[in-house]
Homo-oligomer: A and B are copies of this chain.
């Protein structure tokens, strides 16, 4: 499971993506719109700034804005920032590699091959899930509810 922090980050990023190149959004607005505790969201947005995914402006009319195009930011990237490795075991992680402490000889590990397969499938799917794809979903959902009215 993904942490709430990570899910909040995704929702905040989608909100910023919807506002891409249209100025900045305040934490308060994003928090209210997306149902995220404001003070918690502040920390999250700071981390996103450190990761160079967003930038901010202080003062009245200030807030956060996306630095990259919505199709350049994926769930995989956000997951790694907030929840760490996508891999199920550290010894097959691409970005957070560590030897497993219960594993005396990595080359002899009969788990790795399947762990790598799982990682790759998950990773690919998570990389395909870009902010843009979320925006597209949002749009098509809105279209659908409009039709049913």
Chain A residues close to B by CB (< 8 Å): 1-2, 4, 7-8, 10-11, 14, 34-36, 75, 84-85, 87-90, 100, 102-104, 107-108, 110-114, 117-118, 120-122, 124-126, 128-129, 133-135, 137-138, 141, 145
Q: Are B128 and A117 in contact (CB under 8 A)?
A: yes
The 5 closest A-B pairs by CB, nearest first: A114-B129, A110-B138, A110-B137, A2-B88, A121-B125
Secondary structure of the A contact surface, majority rule:
helix
Alpha-carbon distance between A35 and B99 when the two chains are bound, in angstroms: 14
Contact A1 B35 (CB under 8 A): no
**Given A1-B84, A102-B35, A102-B36, CB of A118 within 8 Å of CB of B122:** yes
Q: How far is the CA of A4 from the CA of B110 in the complex (A)?
A: 16
A100–B7 Cα gap in the complex (Å)? 10
Residue from A14, A104, A126 whose CB has the most chain B CB atoms within 10 Å:
A126
Instruction: Select one of B113, B126, B141, B145 contacting A137, CB under 8 A.
Output: B113
Q: Which residue of B lies closest to A3 (CB)?
A: B88
